[in-house]
Amino acid sequence: MTMPEQRFRILLVEDNPGDAFLVRTLLEETGEPFDIEHRSDLRSAMAVLNGDGPDALFDVVLLDLTLPDSSGVATISQIRSCANTAPVVVLTGHKDEELAFEALQHGAEDYLTKEFPDGRTIRRSIRYAIERSRAERALKESEERYRKLVELAPELISILSGEEIVYINQQGLSILGAEDSAALVGRSFMEMVHPTSKETLGEYIARYQDGYGGRADFTIICQRPDGDNVELEVSAIAFTHEGAPAMLMLAEDVTEKRRIERQLVQTSKLATLGEMAASVAHEMNQPLNVIRMAADTCALQYDLEAVKPAFQRERLSLISSQTERMSEIIKHLQIYSRPDDDDFVPFDPMKAVERSVDMIEHDCRLSGIMIEVVPPAQACLVKGRQVQLEQVLVNMLTNARDAINENGDDGSIGGLIRLSAMVDENHKVLKLAVNDNGGGVPEAAIDLLFHPFFTTKDVGKGTGLGLSVSFGIVEAMNGKIDVRNEGDGACFEVTLPIVSFGNVSEDIFADIPDEQVFNDTSSNTAARQNTRILVVDDEIDAMEIISGYLEAQGYNVSAASNGEDALAIAGVVQPDILITDIRMPQMDGNSLVKELRSRDPALPVIVMTGHPGDAERPVDDDGADAPVMVMSKPLNLKELLGILDELSEVCGQM
């Protein structure tokens, strides 16, 4: 038999009908079980609270301090003097911190201005006021346990004896998705902990069981019964339960906070990319210029009827190498700009240094600023996400460049940025310092630099997010970031813990397969002639080049520039292998793959994409008998040919 849902009775003392209606409406929208009794003056409110029976009992009083027959904090004292007292939440139209403090001194549990964003704010204040009032009453007669719980007053409060939950508060039940304490008390807290956090929590439980008496701060992820994960920032202290060592755990649900932080990180990264648009354009124009000139010289030989095969092959090889250079630039920008969802892994920080300098060096050179990199005496690995460290360094380098430009408008100084790396073997830390000669940071601004939206730049020249986001990134890597003035400029220094010494084989492009060079042989000519290939790409030039190349290699090729035409062709001649682009108008590559796989689940598919992010990945057909292979643009046609030869051999054996 289920227990009836607890309903909270609220006495709303408010003389403004509009404000009273707004409070009632917002609370009803929360869906919480509230019963609201409304009075418009102090006299009638006190009459209710001094009455007899259940109608005089309330869980909370929402009290306006400006009533027809009373005003100011004295109103609180009169309400609390009634026979049936209840926690008081003050409602006021004034944003006055002094008044708020005075109201709390006179016995109010909370203080709300009437600029309500939504009902959840009122609901939270009511719940906190009710819980706080109950805890205050319990303090007078309870043991030390309840006193400590109320003193720290976090959102989740739990006492663990070993792994066993012996107490958990109402907010903790809500966070963990439990209906009542009976659902959790007596169970192991480990049952609610995500597998990735079990080791962390287990370590601290064991430490407190062994008599550790200090405080510990750590982060864990818990799993709710509905499948959602919640991230908790935990503060733990030693406690005693029934004479044995225990752990008092206080935790805040920071799930939404972390989501917003990730959005800020992504926003900052995209803002940085926008600021570097000119530099990126230059980096792309360099290989484009070489490609254009190489193509023009090849065309000139044809115009002069003086074609030299060796010269043509040399120039075509040059064009191919320059496209590879452009591809690397694009891949790095894509990796830099995508959301950071990967796990922390060991990586070589000097690769982040190299990438960040590459991204900013052209802009600095145009401004007459030289970047000097001082490598460490010993190679090492740090743990985190390489692209995030790049983001931190790019931000610091950009700030250094801007400071030099602002300080040297008259051209009287030579701009110099020094990025130095130093390994401290004794403390096992790496220090990355960015020094400039841009005049330094105003002393009054140093303590504010890492605050969100604070900037020393002119309006329109900075978001104020860069250093704040950088601070969060470095902190997440268990490091720290400091700023000070040195010489004639500023020094931003990042300190990171070293996980090991020596070189690393990891690479930022580890998820991108290395180029495979396949031999172009004619030993499988028969297999090629018997294999039907369907090429689909809305870029007609690309479609024709791929088709022509494969036909020249002996394959039987059909081509289409959209998904509908591809389906029509496949309806007449069933392909043995499908090669398709992902992003196409009307019917995209994913839809085409699904449709053709519904006809032939064993159809091998090669997907071409210039967008390797998760949003562009092809669908997974769990029921299909053949995989979907992914090739990044620009395509290496020799690599494509090698893959097709392998697939055609398999098709020939079926």
Dump pLDDT digits (tens) for 412-421: 457 899 999 9
**Pair 49, 11: CB distance under 8 Å:** yes
Dump pLDDT digits (tens) for 254-302: 888 878 767 766 666 666 666 566 556 666 776 777 788 778 888 888 8
Query: Which own/partner contact pairs does 229-235 have at CB distance under 8 Å and 24+ positions apart?
Result: 229/194, 229/255, 230/175, 230/176, 230/255, 231/255, 231/258, 232/156, 232/175, 235/152, 235/154
Q: Cα–Cα distance between 90 and 110 in angstroms, integer?
A: 6
Pick the range with the lowest mean pLDDT from 64-68, 304-308, 517-521: 517-521
How much is the average pLDDT of 117-122?
A: 77
pLDDT of residue 460: 43
Taken in order of first residue, the domains within the chain and their CATH numbers are 8-139 (3.40.50.2300), 144-253 (3.30.450.20), 275-501 (3.30.565.10), 525-653 (3.40.50.2300)
pLDDT at 316 over 70: yes
pLDDT at 507 over 50: no
Dump pLDDT digits (tens) for 163-204: 999 988 888 888 999 988 888 999 999 999 999 899 999 999
How much is the average pLDDT of 436-463?
A: 65
- pLDDT bracket for residue 338 (50, 70, 90): low
Highest mean pLDDT among 360-369, 526-535, 560-569, 634-643: 560-569
Q: Cα–Cα distance between 390 and 404 in angstroms, integer?
A: 21
Q: Cα–Cα distance between 141 and 26 in angstroms, integer?
A: 36
Structure tokens, 474: 């470095």
Q: Cα–Cα distance between 434 and 420 in angstroms, integer?
A: 7
- Rounded to the nearest integer, the mean pLDDT of the chain is 81
Per the model's pLDDT, the better-predicted residue between 456 and 130 turns out to be 130
Q: Cα–Cα distance between 61 and 23 in angstroms, integer?
A: 13
Rounded percentage of the chain residues whose pLDDT exceeds 70:
80
Closest CA to 8 of 114, 134, 168: 134
pLDDT at 430 over 60: yes
Q: Which pTM value belongs to this model?
A: 0.42
Closest CA to 73 of 33, 104, 27, 115: 104
**Pair 37, 48: CB distance under 8 Å:** yes
